Each structure stands twice: as structure tokens, then as C-alpha cells.
Amino acid sequence: MIRLPTNAIPAAEFLVRHLYRPIEVTAGSRYFAVVETEHGTFGDNWFWNDDNAKVLEFMSRPEVWRRFPQETSEILRFVRSMCHGPFIFRRVSTPQLDLIGTEGGVTTYRHSLMQLRYDLAQGAVVAGVRFHDERNADALMLHGNYVAFTYRGRRFKEPVGRDGSGGHAERDGHRLRLRHASELQCNAGWQRRRLGEIAYTYTFDAMSMLFEVEAVLDLDPGIAVSDVVLTIGHGGLAYCFFNNIVTDASAAPLFGAGKPGTRSLDAAGASYYAIRQGHISGDSLAVHSIPRGPQPLAGFEAAVEIQGRLDRIVARYEFPGPHRGGRLVAAEHKLITAGGFYDRVADYAAFIKRESAASAEPRAAYDFSISYDYGVTLNAFAKCFAVASAGDVDTPFPPEELRSIVDQIMTHYFELYVDRHAAQPNAIFSRELAFVILGIATMYRATGGEDYRRRLVRLCEVLLDFEVRFDDHTGTPASAFLMRKDSPRAPYVDCHSAVLLALTQAARYVADPRLPAAIAAGLRSYGLETCRFAGGLLDTVQTLMIDEHGTYRTENAFWNFKAGLTLRFFLALREAADPRLRAIAERNRERIELIEAVIRRQLENSVTEHDDGIELRCSVLSAETNSESQPWAMLGLLGHPYA
């Protein structure tokens, strides 16, 4: 059996030799960062900011930074480039646009960061943000359009794209254009009159998450109509629990889904709108739109079929007055995000305008979703600051610059998450908050700044809100920590272990008896589980929670990043200076040693030795590692000297 690495250098060597690559974000703007996987799932080259921050924390260990000074600094530069004010953007991708195939009339394309499907005979195009796991989903169906007009004193509302007529798909390099067109007719007495042709064109670009929708009505010159309305329809919204419409014309949401029914909404003066989920967090969905061209947005029709969920939104563009012949155009730039600060509508409008202006420039596809692991970025910069300010490495980043970055992110986190916690209890992700605490604890240790300690006190108070207490039926109180405060009642191992790690580190500086009590109770949640898969059995660790109904719920550490976080917590607890925590570690010594032995065996079975480094795969059954598993598994084995 291969032994686990006791030295950080071979694991860092593997990252540098196999995953560290250049990425051209824009023309003339080149970065080096760690790609998600060496061989690329589906050929993807995704550079996650979150994961590069995790790699950066590992690479900031002094011996690794000294061994790879340029690579560590370049990763730091990349992570910094993804921070724009309060926005820490999620990832970038090299351009990709691949035809997957057609089945049942539906054609599928794989875009750099989206999945695209269409049935042009039905006038339907579907798009969603793409992942490599269960988050993959169709977020938006562009469908349900109509044209309204007045002809001979009578008002008509004719549906578009439901006649089974054909369409046309054309790929031109990195662009995909989808078009469907049909005749626009109406019944005028005993005859059916042709008014013209209505065509919808959808343009997707492999170098951008931004896409365009254009509706063009070419009117026949021989017929006179008036007060024409063109539409851009959004359907299937209930599937992803969309329930709000916001615009830049009002500080309050324009509409929130309530009882079933259809509403007409005025949006005069709005130059941006978004259809979004009601909660705001690092994984909430939104579809952002700005009109493209001179015709202003007039309003919406909003349909609710299931209470509390939008089903359809139709954006209306009005062309008042008489028309005989000519061309009428309504068009929009659109962007889908899976996480954001959606009340900052001016920022999103600016992102879309800036991205659309750069459409002719070579660039990588940029995911404007925010990081859902906000804390790992702050923590990585904090570790870099601590190492640099101690003089352990030579770096082109002055310590005060790094401290300024940490302070900026910390300020944004409090303003957008902590200070709104009572009003938005599901905005905070407990693992994210745990790493904010780890970073702030590092800053307090490195500087002694009293503001950091005060912030730690408040952060720990918020983190304790995620605790679910229960009786483990032995007469001993136990607890588990949820992913989100009101999330499904599941004790995910990574969240639970990250929280206990953060509380352990914070207890050095926060004299709150609730912290040791929570750590002791949280230890009771750990146990062993045998996972059964087609590839065999895996003995690993689990976390247990008994909910308010007495239902047992468990989650396991099949994935090695979860196992690494658990080892890291046990390591921190064992090395704690606080006598209260040392006493907890001693009381649980045998259980901890048993669980550690099982986890270490799991990691040993996940090691692949290479001539130029050590790889810790994503799981025992995985073929390779990724940009999250390698650093977190190694930090679980070795910790960080500036924790």
C-alpha cells in the first residue's frame, strides 16, 4: 500500500506539473491558475476561483511558496483578478461549443459554461448554467411569445412558434445562431390575412455567458396595422422556483409571485430587469436582461400557476401608432447566474453592458455567478498576508496590500451577509462562514488588531445559529451543523467539519463557553459508515443528525475533500492550546483515533504516485484528483502553520 505523504512538496509538484496552466481571460490579459481537472471532464477547462483559493492556501505554506514562488504568486494574482468590489466571481473557461446530438426533435449543445437545448419547430430554446454534478439544470426556456396588434379596429394576440414550422441553426466559429420564423396572420371576417413574417434569433457565443434574443417583425406593405407589441417570453420558471421580478426603475421588487393568476406589469423607464429566485445566496438563480437597441421595455405579463412560483414572464415591447410595411425589432442581451447579490441591479446592468461591448474581442467565458465559498478566498489572502508579513517568503505582493484585500473582503462580507443575517437567514453557507472565521483568526494572530477579534465574536455567534441539537439516545447531548440555517435537514460532513474546525481555531481568542460546548456536542455526530458502490465497499466517516421528528439523517465522506476537512478539524483540536479543548480531545481520544485511521486508510487508497508528484484522487473510486480535493486533502494531513 502507498503511504500517505508527510511532505507538502510532492503534492504541490503534482498541481504545478499537471493542473497549473495559462488562461487568456481577455486579449492581452493572461493569467496562470489551476484547472479543475487534468484531463478535463467533457473537454472542459474550468478555472474555479474558489478552488484556486484553496490551492493558494496550500501553496502559501512557506516551504511550498519558497519552492514555487512564481506559481504561487501567479495563482494569487488570478484569485485577486476575480474580485471586483463585493463580487468574487466564480470561474472562467476556455471557449467550447460542441454539438451533442439530436433526439426526439431536441438538439443539445455543450457551451463553455452552459447547456443549450432547442426545438426550433416548437419555437423553444432552453439554457442553463452547466456544472459537473447535481447542480446542472435547465434554468430558462425561451418560449411563449406572441405578437399583438390592432387591425380594422379589432385587437389581435397571435401566438408565435407553435405551428410546428421549421427553423435554422447555424454555427459560425465560436457562435451559434438559432432562428425560427413563421407567417403572422389573423382572421379578418371570412378570410385569413397575412400581416408579415415574425422571426426570432438566439445567438450564443462560446467566449461569453452573455447571449442575445432578437424578435423581428417584417410587415407586409399592403396591410395597415397599429399599436404592435412584440414579446420575449420566458417559460418553465416554476421548475427552478423563480418568484421575483426586479428592475432598475424601482428599489423594491416589481413583482413577487403569490396566488395563481396572470398580471400585467408596467416597466416604463426600466433599462434592466431580472427574473430571480426569492432568496439571495451564493447558489440562487437569476436571469438578467437589458434591452438591446432603441426600443424600450414597456412591461410584462406575469403568470403564476403554482402559488409562490412564477410560471411565465413575457417581456413586452410596444410600437404605438399606425404601421404599413417596415421592420419592427425588439432585442435583449441576457445573462444567467447561479448565485449573486441581486439587489445590486446597477452592478449587473453594468456587467452586461461591459460584456456586450467586448463581444468582438477574444476572451475566455466568464461566469458572473458569485463564489459560494466566499470565505476560502478571504482565508487564502489572510494566510498569504501572515506568511509574507512574517518574512518567510519573498513575494511581489507587499503585506499591506494583502491586508487591504482581506479587509475589503471582510467589510463586504459583513455588509452583505452578516449584517443581514436576521433578515436573510439562508444567504450564509456555513462552510463559507467557517473559512471567513479561519481567515479572520489568522489576521488577529498575525496583527493583534482588536477589530479582528471583535469580528470573530460576531461571526461565531452567527455560526452557532446553524447548530441543530439532539439527544443521541445515550443521554449525551449531540449536535450537527447545517449547510444553511433553514436548509434541508442534512448534516453534510464538509460543512460540519469546517464549522468545528473554525470554532476550534476561534476558541483561542473568543472566551465564549458555547464554543467548547458546541465542539464537544459536534464530536458526538461522527461515526463510521460503509458505502456500497458498483466498484466495491468503502469504509468512511459519517455525520449524524436526528431531526425534530426523530428521523435519523446521515451524510458520508465518500469524497476526499470532505475527509480532508474532517482530518483538519481533528488535527486542530489535538493541537489546541486551550485546556478546555485539550480536555475534549482527550475524552474522545479513542473515537478520534479510530475515525482518523479509517479516513487515512481511505486517503491511502486514493493516492497515485507519479514520477513528478503525488496525486490524491477525488475518491477511492475516482480516476484523478481535482482542484479542490488535492489541496484540502493535503491540508487535512498537514494543516497550515499560520492557521
C-beta of residue 315 within 8 angstroms of C-beta of residue 232: yes
Q: pLDDT tens digit string along 212-247?
A: 999 999 999 999 999 999 999 999 999 999 999 999
Cell (9 digits) for 593: 483515533
Distance CA 161, CA 156 (A): 16
Helix%, strand%, coil% for the chain, nearest 5: 35, 35, 30
DSSP label of 43? G
Name the average pLDDT for the chain. Answer: 94
pLDDT of 26: 84
For residues 269-276, average pLDDT: 96
Region class of 458: left (phi > 0), else alpha (psi between -120 and 50), else beta? alpha
* Three state DSSP letters for 290-352: EECCCCCCCEEEEEEEECCEEEEEEEEEEEEEEEECCEEEEEEEEEEEECCCCCCHHHHHHHH
Q: pLDDT tens digit string along 415-439?
A: 999 999 999 888 999 999 999 999 9
pLDDT of 1: 59
Distance CA 288, CA 127 (A): 13
pLDDT of 136: 84
Distance CA 506, CA 17 (A): 36
pLDDT higher than threshold 90 for residue 613: yes
Q: pLDDT tens digit string along 460-513?
A: 999 999 999 999 878 889 999 999 988 777 899 999 999 999 999 999 999 999
pLDDT higher than threshold 70 for residue 603: yes
In order, the DSSP letters of 109-163 are EEESSEEEEEEGGGTEEEEEE--SSTT----EEE---EEEEEETTEEEEEE-S-S
Cell (9 digits) for 367: 461566469
pLDDT of 534: 82
pLDDT higher than threshold 60 for residue 164: no
Q: pLDDT tens digit string along 188-198?
A: 777 888 999 99
Q: pLDDT tens digit string along 41-79?
A: 999 999 999 999 999 999 999 999 999 999 999 999 999
Distance CA 575, CA 582 (A): 8
* Three state DSSP letters for 199-251: EEEEEEECCCCCEEEEEEEEECCCCEEEEEEEEEEEECHHHHCEEEEEECCCC
